Chains A and B, each alone.
Chain A
Amino acid sequence: MARNRYVRKLKELRQNVVDMGALTRQSVEDVLTALETSDTALAERVIANDDEIDKFDRKIESQCMTLLALEQPMAKDLRVIATSLKMITDLERIGDFVVDIAEEVVAMGKPIRIPVSATKFDELVADVKSMVADSIETYAGGDIQKARSFEARDDRIDFLYKNIVENMVNALAQGKCSTETVSDVASLLYIIRYLERIADHAVNIGNRVCYMEEGDRRYLK
């Protein structure tokens, strides 16, 4: 096959994106673990690791620009590069939201007391974790069938989010919270907002991967 060097470079690019994805996914898992166990040390580490994610972002962007400038990529190659370029932005934003969550964990400094049904919150956390994992996996060459269900899953996450917000606001309004839990509720409202945004970015990633694989611009909204 011709263009061996070029093919290798493309493979390198994809691997880098996969690695960045793995790093991001790990960060998401870590911060949610930190939240659960109120592990501020872990949260600090997560914050520090964001540098790695940002480094990847810059490195991959540079790789993409070089390939575009020098190799005149076409067809699938072009779609891979374009998708990678956009996807790292989504990953990087996920990374930033993870940092935001970590900062809340550090600020709270102690286990949170959730004034509403814990199951909904756990469900939200689980859903977001799996969305992030799945979206990164579809890029790595998995099954874009999974990606097709992202919209529905995101709707579910939005529903959970609104539901939890409503419940917490009600609890506040009805005075069911003590002064300590109020500040926790405030933090929590921020945290689930970040989670919901993380899910949105995961959906973006899924859509872009569908475009990358099939070339249909309808996936790009």
Chain B
Amino acid sequence: MAAKRSEMVPMGLLWGAGIATLVILIVILAYILSKGLPLISWHFLTTNPGVRGQTGTGIYSTILATVAVTGVALLVAAPLSVGGAIYLNEYTRENLLRKVIRQAAEILAGIPSIIIGLFGFLFFVIYLLPYTGGWSVLSGGLTLAFMVLPISLRISEEALKAVPGELREGSLGLGATKWQSITTVVLPTALPGIVTGLILGMGRAIGETAAILLTAGGALGVIHSLRDPACPMTLYLYNILTEYNDTTTAYGTAAVLIIAILAVTFVTDWLMNSYTKKLKGL
């Protein structure tokens, strides 16, 4: 049935707004991928960047650095955020402390990354120099953890809240202890949400540049330990573009980054969807 005339204009505008988002995304992706995809080759991915300014090399060490820094961030943020969310949601009542913590997380999420980077610099690079090795993967990863934490804490908390109270009542009613109830019923049910939260956090970590700039060091060598300085892809992109105007490599790096993020997103979505379907028995 055709919508009334008066309905068609707002419908059209709204449709346009929705399409606009899609269009913008497609334009960005298309532009960068069109310029960057041709550059990607096995060689590109497995060769180290050359001496600064040298073109025709690869981004191997930067890929490694990205993985390392993100890994550290997740390893630190995941237990803290999931554990914190479990504590907040399962062991405390809705009181002042919870509200304060939630608010704190939100504020933390809103602090500009450069400022967090500044803090990371002062605390991890300078103050904790003996432990972190100064400019290093560790310093970068720990700083990034601060950025992953609020996102994944919030989302994990929501995921846990979304688990219906009847399931907890059901498991407690069968004589499970609180902890058993959490690990065998609540967590498995909330898992898709929690993992999504972590993935979103991870996305932020992969794409973070400003904080990395101030903490990771930017050295192009292949890292051998967490205390080595590193140059993740985002930082590398920034550097070669600003210092050497190497747009080609920049596009290539950008393309790799985008593909990586897209891949992670799709795979996780698919995994979580199947898991959820299995839970629901569909």
- In the complex, are there CB atoms of A and B closer than 8 Å? no
Residues of A within 8 A of B (CB): none
Residues of B within 8 A of A (CB): none
